[in-house]
Structure 1
């Protein structure tokens, strides 16, 4: 089933305050949240945010749990795990969707990936698929035991890179009764083939670089990083893809957070380049909703995964008309469109 909706920014802005439309300055938010309309204080009877920590495989994981209005630990609530994008942290788009879902009555959790954000792990910014998938299992472990959570009704939402890893986690973790993605990004495919499969002719060369970086690490040498760049506005404007141009704007300017970074250890590419989010995707038998912008240059990844997800008969690809990849992170009209689908999907499947 494929559906397309039209949403305009103007219509979404009607009745919305400037504070809700604009990004939040993390320095002005007590929870360092960066998104418009973010919680600034916990108040009785409203959605609250509860910073938590827990241990996963010997590492401290730092997360935010969002509880719905009038939360009562003695009652039972459905819950949703939210996985953040590559380079993102829980205070950005993952937090926005977690808060919006809590407004719909769910208990939600958004955690920083191990080795990233405020979570533990050395060296910093290791980005291995196995770790990111384990992070999702770990969020499920924690939230299933959170007061008030009915663990038999657990959903999963993955955004960008977190979407690809959510697909991978849900293949085998049947605690997740339904899975949704927003602007899914298949990290393995992109690291291997380049964005838009634009670097197929340099795969072996980049594998050699990653292998050398691992050898250097193993010998106690300097840890090399990929993806680290401090670009000028002029350089950003010349980037070939909307995702990269708007991504720099989002992560470095409008929704910047000090724990968020594009860089990752070069040696991580040994794991990333042999990973693909669609491998064995037919193991997903749960209901699946995949959301992406109709103008996203990353749309090909969602469409590819959706076509290969043959194990579930309950699946939908929902395109938000006019939206690019990054615009689904913050533009009110597009977030509202995504939330409209997510709300109905989780209400039906959880």
Structure 2
């Protein structure tokens, strides 16, 4: 029955997604074409752990074919989507960049995935932005990394946080986003402004939850998790992002460390975040990529228009792609990888 419901979901969603079973990969990578073993002379993956504000951060570093620690390589930091982990779409693009000659790092956010920190699945913008700074701290000390040629790539929510990180962190010489998601705006106003009328009620609930936590109570989470939704209910979701997102995260590219929830009290922090604010501080070359069919496109456009501080910026629309399809659909991934490679080749020497 579960398989039948999944088939129905795929048909209703207009997609034919390929499954990527993390259980079949020794590094638990959940994307098509993932590395299964390290081979001399090929792209390799190193699992590493480092400290960030006392928390153990779990990361994967991808090195290009014939990597030598005595050479210098342009390098890209890759920030994963909200609720995602390094083994999913962030790993896919990190590996693709390594195949083009770059060193690439992607790490699980603090409090999330295989990284440490409690309460679990804490999702606060300040943490996510600092995670990006922390990846830069670590990788700039990695053998072979050219410290003068560091790029940044943020995907979905990681894109919004990358925009914020790049506003002040000028170690990043070139900044790109894929299907950027402005987490604070959506958590505050709802996706496509669908929850404007309930913002005060939700903020009151978050404030009450934080009060109970401050008084010694347990961290409170929503009663239902997005990825636990029955498939027949997910098929009825009216937005492509959430309908196809369910398919990606709950079915075809699922990973046990990937979570679709966060503490109720986190809304206090999330509601105050906006990637658009101070976007004019970005003076680095900027490439923003989104599907021209994505119902999330408005967020990319808002930030792109606000990024007035750079004279070198481009909005690249992937023809026929929705938000989630940029995560996995081969022809779209190839198109995006080619675009990213050209962008970083131009701006990272």
| Superposition TM-score tier, normalisation by shorter sequence | over 0.9
The offset of 1:315, in angstroms, is 0.2
Report the equivalent of 2:83. Answer: 87
1:142 counterpart (134, 138, 145): 138
The offset of 1:233, in angstroms, is 1.4
The offset of 1:225, in angstroms, is 1.5
In the alignment, the residues of structure 1 paired with residue 220 and residue 322 of structure 2 have an alpha-carbon distance, to the nearest angstrom, of 31
Report the equivalent of 2:270. Answer: 272
Report the equivalent of 1:198. Answer: 194
2:117 counterpart (92, 107, 121): 121
- Give 5+ residue unaligned stretches, structure 1: 1-20
SS in 2 for 1:214: helix
SS in 1 for 2:61: strand
Report the equivalent of 2:32. Answer: 36
In the alignment, the residues of structure 1 paired with residue 255 and residue 88 of structure 2 have an alpha-carbon distance, to the nearest angstrom, of 8
Report the equivalent of 2:209. Answer: 213
The offset of 1:22, in angstroms, is 3.2
In the alignment, the residues of structure 2 paired with residue 62 and residue 232 of structure 1 have an alpha-carbon distance, to the nearest angstrom, of 31
Report the equivalent of 2:336. Answer: 338
Q: Write the deviation string for residues 311-337 of structure 1: whole angstroms up to 9, x where unpaired.
A: 001000000011000000000010011
Report the equivalent of 1:306. Answer: 304
In the alignment, the residues of structure 2 paired with residue 30 and residue 218 of structure 1 have an alpha-carbon distance, to the nearest angstrom, of 41
Report the equivalent of 2:157. Answer: 161
- Give 5+ residue unaligned stretches, structure 2: 1-16
Equivalenced residue count is 330
Q: Write the deviation string for residues 98-134 of structure 1: whole angstroms up to 9, x where unpaired.
A: 0000000000000000000000000101000000000
In the alignment, the residues of structure 1 paired with residue 261 and residue 317 of structure 2 have an alpha-carbon distance, to the nearest angstrom, of 30
In the alignment, the residues of structure 2 paired with residue 149 and residue 173 of structure 1 have an alpha-carbon distance, to the nearest angstrom, of 17
1:73 counterpart (64, 69, 80): 69
Report the equivalent of 2:347. Answer: 349
Report the equivalent of 1:173. Answer: 169
SS in 2 for 1:225: coil
In the alignment, the residues of structure 2 paired with residue 224 and residue 252 of structure 1 have an alpha-carbon distance, to the nearest angstrom, of 22
In the alignment, the residues of structure 2 paired with residue 56 and residue 223 of structure 1 have an alpha-carbon distance, to the nearest angstrom, of 22
In the alignment, the residues of structure 1 paired with residue 107 and residue 195 of structure 2 have an alpha-carbon distance, to the nearest angstrom, of 32
SS in 2 for 1:24: coil
SS in 2 for 1:344: helix
Q: Write the deviation string for residues 59-94 of structure 1: whole angstroms up to 9, x where unpaired.
A: 000000000000000000010000000000000000
The offset of 1:222, in angstroms, is 2.6
After superposition, the CA RMSD in angstroms is 0.9
In the alignment, the residues of structure 2 paired with residue 246 and residue 322 of structure 1 have an alpha-carbon distance, to the nearest angstrom, of 15
Report the equivalent of 2:147. Answer: 151
The offset of 1:24, in angstroms, is 2.4
After TM superposition, the structure 1 stretch with the greater mean CA deviation from structure 2, 234-243 or 67-76, is: 234-243
The offset of 1:23, in angstroms, is 3.4
In the alignment, the residues of structure 2 paired with residue 27 and residue 149 of structure 1 have an alpha-carbon distance, to the nearest angstrom, of 31
In the alignment, the residues of structure 1 paired with residue 225 and residue 269 of structure 2 have an alpha-carbon distance, to the nearest angstrom, of 19
Q: 2:246 matched to 1:253?
A: no
Q: Tell me the TM-score normalized by structure 2.
A: 0.93
SS in 1 for 2:168: coil
In the alignment, the residues of structure 2 paired with residue 97 and residue 285 of structure 1 have an alpha-carbon distance, to the nearest angstrom, of 24
SS in 2 for 1:46: coil
Report the equivalent of 2:10. Answer: none
